[in-house]
Amino acid sequence: MISQLSSSFKALGDPVRLRLFVLIGQHDAVCVCHLVSALDIPQSTISRHLGILRHAGLVQTRREGKWIYYALSGDVATQLKSMFNQADAQLEADALALETAINH
């Protein structure tokens, strides 16, 4: 468990990956297109960071047509999500931007 937690924290050590993790954790599943819109970061950058989170076992994917949706996976992701429930101003702004992107 310690090794898995260490890998998770390494994956979350980047601010963009941390923001992505928190946003995904606030929904059952989130489309990459909505994450790109919410964070205003190029799709290639978002995809690279999501790949790192997936490799660390923190997120899982499912494909619907041409879209890929991400959701938290595993017990470690659930435990980490509970640690981030008290989001700072940037994370709250990200969540609002994602809601706008999803409902737009």
**pLDDT by 10s per residue, the chain, length 104:** 567 778 888 999 999 999 999 899 889 999 999 999 999 999 999 999 999 999 999 999 999 999 999 999 877 677 777 766 655 677 788 889 999 999 98
Could you tell me if 50 and 60 are in contact, meaning their C-beta atoms sit under 8 angstroms apart? no
pLDDT (0 to 100) of residue 85: 63
| pTM as predicted | 0.79
Smallest CA-to-CA distance from 84 within 51, 102, 58 is with: 58
Cβ neighbours for 10, distance < 8 A, ≥ 6 positions apart = 56
Q: Is residue 104 part of a domain?
A: no
Domain count of the chain? 1
Could you tell me if 35 and 23 are in contact, meaning their C-beta atoms sit under 8 angstroms apart? yes
Domain of 82, in residue numbers:
2-99
Q: Distance between CA atoms of 83 and 32, rounded to whole angstroms?
A: 24
Query: Which CATH number goes with the domain that contains 88?
Result: 1.10.10.10
pLDDT (0 to 100) of residue 86: 57
